[in-house]
Structure 1
Amino acid sequence: MIQFIDVQKTYPNGTIALQNVNLNIEQGEFVAVIGLSGAGKSTLIRCINRMHDITGGRLIVDDVEVTRLRGKQIRRFRRRIGMIFQSFNLVTRTTVIKNVLVSFVPDLPLWRKLTGLFTKEQKIKALEALDKVGILDKAYVRVDQLSGGQQQRVALARTLAQNPDIILADEPIASLDPVTSRMVMNDFKRINQEMNISVIMNIHHVEVALEYADRIIGIRKGEVVFDGESRRVTKEILEDIYGGNIEALASSPEEKLAHVR
């Protein structure tokens, strides 16, 4: 379980990113966080793995008070939480499998880190992770020869290889075309359902969020203004989250948001 209890986040320049956030996220949920740019979506998910420190309240992950972790405790804690970025964060001039094997580096003894030698078991786990996202055949291909969607799948495989309980995804489909976006989202949904991994995703594509996520968290100016099942989201709720301008959500809102009441 992830618990936000009266969480506040204020940046050193005085910007209030989060205020009065109270949330409970259970293991195995697929949660999409939506809202305008600058509303606090990225800050919310990055606080979970201590990429950002909260400035008030409490943040608890499986009975661990996140703000109390120090040094090696933080690194061990982060091993349980996979993080996927919009930019993929891959080494494009090397092979796919080497990018996935990077997930094991924190656990390697110093001599293996220096030599870049991985165990047979680690290599098998890396190949299994690639198989789970459907790109096992690309294991020994250089990353820069892959499409954007395939690169995002490599990033997802790298995260799966570390066997996380939680996956945080920060705009994972923002740079992908619609067809590729759905392929990647199908991967997230299947992994969430088959492996019971919690997925918490910051996403601009509202229609995609409503289709794939079980739960929607709407943020406006750092506050949670909606928290509920996707099927409960109405146009009035979206107008509240987005300040009355849902036409800005898509190029064809009549078509893409037609299923929203």
Structure 2
Amino acid sequence: MIKFDGVGKVYPNGLRALDDISLEIDHGEFVAVIGLSGAGKSTMIRAINRMHEISEGTLTVNGIDVSTLKGRELRRFRRGIGMIFQSFNLVTRTTVLKNVLSAKVPDLSLWRVLLGAFPRKDHIAALEALDKVGILEKAYVRADQLSGGQQQRVALARTLAQDPRIILADEPVASLDPVTARQVMDDFRRINRELGITVIINIHHVELALQYADRVIGIREGRIIFDGRSDRVNGDVLENIYGRDTEEAL
């Protein structure tokens, strides 16, 4: 379980990105976080794996106070949380398979890392991850020869190769066309349902959030405006979250 208890985040320039956030996310949920740009969506999900430090309150994951983790403990903790970015973050001049295998680097000895000598079991796990997102046939293709949607699927496969309990996705479909965006969202939903992995997505497209997520959290100016089932999101809720920009969000 992920638990925010009175969490606040103030940046050095004085900007308050999160303001008294309190909520719980259970194992296996599919949650979409929506709101205007700058509302605090990215800050909230990046606090979960401590990419962003919180300033106030307590954030626990499976009973572990995230702020107390240091060094090896923090690295081990992060291994259980996959992170997907809008920009894919692939090494484009190497193959798809090698990109997925990079998820295994923290588990290898130095000589294996230097020689790129991944054990057979890691190769099998990487190929299985590619199969789960439907691009196994691209394993030996260079990443820069793939479409944007395919590259995002490689990023998702790389995350699956970590064997995560939680996947955080920060605007994963923002740079994709509508058809491809839905295909990638299909992958997230299937992974959530078939593997039971908790998925938390910061997403700009409200329509996709409502279609794919079971739960929606709406944030405005660092505060939670709505937290509930996606089928309970209506025009009034969206107006509270987006104000005059409601039509643009849709």
What TM-score does the superposition give when structure 1 sets the normalisation length?
Answer: 0.95
Cα deviation, 1:4-58, whole Å, max 9, x if unaligned, reads 0000000011100001100100000000000000000000000000000001000
1:249 CA displacement? 1.3
Where do residues 40-189 of structure 1 align in structure 2 (5 Å cutoff)?
A: 40-189=40-189
1:229 aligns with 2:229: yes
For 1:181, the aligned partner's letter is: A
Residue 245 of structure 1 deviates from its aligned partner by 2.7
User: How big is each residue's C-alpha offset from its partner over 1:63-105, in whole Å with a ceiling of 9 and x where there is no partner?
Assistant: 1000000111110000000000000000001000000000000
Q: Partners in 2 of 1:241 and 1:183 — Cα distance? A: 27
In structure 2, how many angstroms separate the alpha carbons of the residues matched to 1:183 and 1:137?
17
| 1:34 counterpart letter in structure 2 | I
In structure 2, distance between residues paired with 1:115 and 1:245: 52
Structure 2 match to 1:202:
202
Provide structure 2 residue ranges, at least 5 long, that are not aligned to the other structure: none
Matched residue type, 1:243: G
Aligned equivalent of 1:254: none
Q: State the SS of the aligned residue for 1:245.
A: helix
SS at match of 2:13: coil
Q: Distance in 1 between matches of 2:42 and 2:219?
A: 11
How far apart are residue 206 of structure 1 and its match? 0.2
Paired with 2:13 and 2:71, the residues of 1 have a C-alpha distance of 26
Instruction: Name stretches of at least 5 consecutive residues in structure 1 with no aligned partner.
Output: 251-261
TM-score, normalising length: structure 2: 0.99
Give deviations 1:91-132, integer Å, cap 9, x for gaps. Answer: 001000000000000010111111111000000000000000
CA–CA distance in structure 2, aligned partners of residues 211 and 118 of structure 1: 39
Contact 1:238 1:244 in 2 (8 A): no
- Rounded to whole Å, the distance in 2 between the matches of 1:219 and 1:244 is 15
> Using the alignment, how far apart are the partners of 1:137 and 1:220 within structure 2?
42
Q: Aligned partners of 1:23, 1:116: CA distance in 2, in Å?
A: 42
Provide the rounded CA distance (Å) in 1 between the counterparts of 2:108 and 2:49: 21
Following superposition, which runs of at least 4 residues in structure 1 exceed 6 angstroms of deviation?
A: none
CA–CA distance in structure 1, aligned partners of residues 203 and 185 of structure 2 = 11
Residue identity in the other structure for 2:120: K
How many residues are treated as equivalent by the alignment? 250
SS at match of 2:158: helix
Q: CA RMSD in A?
A: 0.6
Structure 1 CA distance for aligned equivalents of residues 197 and 209 of structure 2: 17
Please identify, of 13-22 and 108-117, the stretch whose mean Cα deviation from structure 2 is larger: 108-117
Instruction: Tell whether the 8 Å contact from 1:31 to 1:216 is kept in structure 2 after alignment.
Output: yes
Percent identity between matched residues is 68
Q: How far does the alpha carbon of each residue in 1:126-177 deviate from its partner, in whole angstroms, 9 at most, with x for none?
A: 0000000000000000001100000000000000001000000000000000
In 2, the alpha carbon distance for the partners of 1:135 and 1:7 equals 39
Measured against aligned partners, the alpha-carbon deviations of 1:192-248 in whole angstroms (never above 9, x if no partner) come to 000000000000000000000000000000000100000000100000000243111
Aligned to 1:7: 7
Q: Could you say which residue in structure 2 is the equivalent of 1:258?
A: none
Structure 1 CA distance, aligned partners of 2:71 and 2:15?
Answer: 27
Alpha-carbon distance between aligned partners in 2 of 1:152 and 1:115, rounded to the nearest angstrom = 27
Query: Is contact 1:7-1:19 (8 Å) kept?
Result: yes
In the alignment, which residue of structure 2 is the partner of 1:34? 34
